[in-house]
Chain A
Amino acid sequence: MLTLTDISKHFGATRALDGVTLAIRPGRVHALVGENGAGKSTLMHVLAGGLSADAGQMTIGGEPYRPAGPLAAREAGIALIHQELSLCEHLTVAENILLGREPRTGGRYDRAAAHAEAARVLAPFHHPELHPGRVVAGLPIAARQVVEIGRAVSADARVVLMDEPTSSLPREDVERLFGQIRRLRAAGVAVVYISHFLEEVRAIADDLSVLRDGRTVWTGPAEMLTDAQVIGHMVGRDVAELFPTRQSRPTATIRLDAGNISVEGRVRQASLQVRAGEVLGIAGLVGAGRTELLRGLMGLDQRLVQGRLSVDGHDIAVGRKAPWARLAAGLGYLSEDRKGEGLTLPMSLADNLTCTGYQSVSRRGVIDNGAQRARGQQLLDRLKVRAQTPLQAVRTLSGGNQQKVALGRLLHQEAKVWLLDEPTRGVDVGSKVHLYEAIAASADAGCAVVIVSSYLPELFGLCDSLAVMSRGQLTASRPLAEWTPESVMAAAIGSPAS
């Protein structure tokens, strides 16, 4: 159906794609896996006409395929479903599905024809609440995704590209999405499915390709590889080598003590204790309330937060929405949302690194540029950040190096408790290793570390103990040795077996 031969794409000096060769067959789901930065999203955009390849050939249905733009790709039968849904919230279901090719009679939008067409498109999806005249803003996220898929297939798509479609979905909706994908497959459509989650790939994919550094390193039927082999291909080395050896064991001193923490509607009565030198992992599904728990502890969540919290025996008023007071108490926080809540992208590395504590680089409110720069350089060296100078804007760095800067703030702050939310999301393998080293070093230095992560190998490689969150409830924390990936997953989906 769709073939790619030696597709390459450069951005300046960076090779995003460096000879990708793939064959996508009709009526099959082809999973594309790889680390962030491996080139998956670039490849998607090349396929969907958003970017043009520098070299290589593509064919669709035997015809040469070289889309001039997204519209040409759509006309050729290729539809892209974005990671973040791209619906116009104020328009109706029908208007969204037919956006750009609205039926017209004499220049007027033909509402009746649009509704009929939308109803025809949506019929196979069994979503009775999706009336064509409903405004999208009121719809739940799963229904919106159906609208998005409806938009893709309404243009008679032969190939549907899905870029991490489950990243914003709750668990139940993932199953429903898989149902829709199977329906597309049964209709002879080829589905290209990008995901980070191997279990999803296992559940849905017929074929599998692994991308690394812009190259296809493996392609073939999905059942031919074990999970460990897939990961091995993705990172290009043995998984065990990624994690640093810890120099010390947790001590007996409790640093972070949080009891019965509730975040209105999200977290119920979560309790956790973390000792000096301990790394506690919190596993769970997206949407389980892990982020809200950390944000609640930091005083960042705007919902009602209750419970009791102390650091090194000093009580902190949990209900007070004052992040600055939490920082002063020794809590340090790394947001999962690097661009939204983490870094100030246009500002310099030095400004970003030292913003958690200007006192040490200023005198009477006036910044000491030399001291700030020196401190920045020191942190950059410590975290092995690839940067030219502390004065360049954070925006100019790669994702992995940006994340190191975000973590470097906690070092500058000399935080005693590190609350890390998805610390390695969107980060290349090399940077991951550096981040793991920095986290391990802080624990060895006596910090109490809490890591929320959706990537199990990371939790098993880095943590001393583990707790699992499921629908707002946190299990007791137990030593890592008492967990297996299976028991973590069982606890995460809330099965009674755990």
Chain B
Amino acid sequence: MTPSLRERVSALAPILGLVLVIGVFALMSDDPAQYLSPRNLRIVLAQTVIVALGAIGMTFIIVSGGIDLAVGSTIALAGVVTALGLREGYAPIVAVAAGVLSGGVVGIVNGLAITRLHVLPFIGTLGMLGIARGVAKWLADQQTVNAPATWVNELAVTFPTPSWLLVAPGVWISLVLAVAATFLLQQTVFGRRVFAIGSNESAARACGVRTERLKVWIYGLAGMLFGLSGVMQMSRLRQGDPTVAIGTELDVIAAVVIGGGSLAGGEGTIAGSLIGALVMAFLRNGSQQMGWPNYVQEIIIGVIIVLAVAADRARRARSA
């Protein structure tokens, strides 16, 4: 059956949510033009990059029926690795690659723990949350690692040079990766299998899918995206901080869930997750513009997460 009108409308629900958030803040703001100005949009987009890249990776994991709680630690570790590479005088591209790969290694270890030691993803990655953070601090000698100024520092700036880029290079990188990830998830055999193990792992196994190997790949792939996210984090701070990004995994998971991903597996889209990340970024930014204290943002975001999932459930109950 081609998607019915209602299904099409409900697939747009996250976008409507985003428009709603932007609209409400624009109306409340004393100066809507300022809130909607290109300048502010650039700020929001630059702020979203870290969570957005994480959400792309997390979408693969959540669609496959897994979870990764070690995202924040992986980001810190990758940032430290990148900064160390730069400090030791390696070419920036090598340092960046090392950061991304360190995330990939963390992911592969997660995948191996889950498949070989038969621990639940929640537990395995909870362990990694501590391990990766500890390794980051160890490598950084418990201090921030200062990196010499290179183009890496320009990746996540709000006002890029050259100015014709309009938004930070990191935003463009995220967009390109999002398109590639959408293709990977929707159009390839790999993607079909990610959905298959998320909806019914035993059935996938009986159909000849090598589920264990596939999971290691999924966590490894996502880990590389978390690693890239760590590079962006380092770029923003201009140093490798092993204590950064604590709790970022929750933002990343929230982005995927607001965007229609199901923690039970088998559901989720890259576009939805990105919109989820934007919803949170606009909320934060809007609250700041309004001069609301931080705790108000936290309460609002908490409410939004629960409402988004509740709306999703209600929609599903109706269509079932």
Contacts and interface: CB of A to CB of B under 8 A. Distances in A.
Interface stretch (B35-43, B131-139, B201-209): B201-209
Contacts, number: 85
Nearest to B209: A324
Contacts of B200: 340-341, 343-345
B204 A366 contact: no
Interface residues of A, number: 36
Contacts of B207: 323, 327, 355-356, 409
B202 A341 contact: yes
Given A344-B199, A389-B2, A366 B188 contact: yes
Contact of B206 (A300, A328, A366): A300
Q: Which of B192, B195, B207, B210 has the most CB of A within 10 A?
A: B207
A391 interface: yes
Contacts of A369: 187
Given A365-B190, A366-B187, A346 B203 contact: no
B1 A389 contact: yes
A411 B99 CA distance: 47
Contact of A344 (B187, B203, B208): B203
Contact of A346 (B202, B205, B209, B266): B266
A436 interface: no
A396 B208 contact: no
A335 interface: yes
A347 B1 contact: no
A34 to B, nearest CB: 26
Contacts of B199: 344-347
A105 to B, nearest CB: 38
A167 to B, nearest CB: 20
A347 B267 CA distance: 10
Contacts of A347: 192, 195-196, 199, 266
A347 B198 CA distance: 11
B1 A396 contact: yes
Nearest to B191: A367
A323 B188 contact: no
Nearest to B266: A346
Contacts of B192: 347, 351, 355, 358, 367
A322 B207 CA distance: 11
A133 to B, nearest CB: 31
Contacts of B202: 335, 337, 340-341
Interface string B1-41: 11000000000000000000000000000000000000000
Contacts of A322: 210
A421 to B, nearest CB: 10
Contacts of A367: 187-189, 192
Contacts of B190: 365
A362 B189 contact: yes
Interface in A351-371: 351, 355-358, 362, 365-367, 369
A232 B210 CA distance: 45
A466 interface: no
A319 interface: no
A392 to B, nearest CB: 4
Contacts of B205: 300, 323, 341
B185 to A, nearest CB: 11
Contacts of A333: 206
A362 B184 CA distance: 13
A324 B122 CA distance: 27
Interface in A260-300: 298, 300
Given A324-B208, A343-B203, A358 B189 contact: yes
Contacts of A356: 207-208
B187 A391 contact: no
B206 A298 contact: yes
Contacts of A351: 192, 195-196
Nearest to A351: B192
A342 B1 contact: no
A351 B200 CA distance: 13
A388 interface: yes
A458 B175 CA distance: 57
Contacts of A362: 188-189
A391 B189 contact: no
A170 to B, nearest CB: 24
B60 to A, nearest CB: 15
B1 A344 contact: no
Contacts of A391: 1-2
Contacts of A365: 188-190
A335 B190 CA distance: 24
Contacts of A392: 1
A396 to B, nearest CB: 7
Interface string B266-293: 1100000000000000000000000000
B208 A323 contact: yes
A409 B59 CA distance: 28
A324 B189 contact: no
A346 B316 CA distance: 12
Interface string B250-269: 00000000000000001100
A355 B1 contact: no
Contacts of B206: 298, 300, 323, 333, 335, 341-342
Interface in A386-427: 388-389, 391-393, 396, 409
B196 A344 contact: yes
Contacts of A337: 202
A335 B209 CA distance: 15
B128 to A, nearest CB: 26
A474 B187 CA distance: 46
A323 B210 CA distance: 8
Interface in B168-193: 187-190, 192
A328 B210 CA distance: 12
Nearest to B207: A355
Contacts of B195: 344, 347, 351
B196 A324 contact: no
Contacts of A344: 195-196, 199-200, 203-204, 266
Given A344-B195, A365-B189, 14 more contacts: A298-B206, A300-B205, A322-B210, A333-B206, A337-B202, A341-B202, A341-B205, A344-B200, A346-B267, A347-B199, A347-B266, A366-B188, A389-B1, A393-B1
18 contacts: A298-B206, A326-B208, A333-B206, A335-B206, A341-B200, A342-B203, A342-B206, A344-B195, A344-B200, A351-B192, A355-B196, A355-B208, A355-B209, A362-B189, A365-B190, A367-B187, A389-B1, A391-B1
Nearest 7 pairs of A and B residues by beta carbon? A327-B208, A324-B208, A392-B1, A341-B202, A358-B189, A355-B207, A344-B200
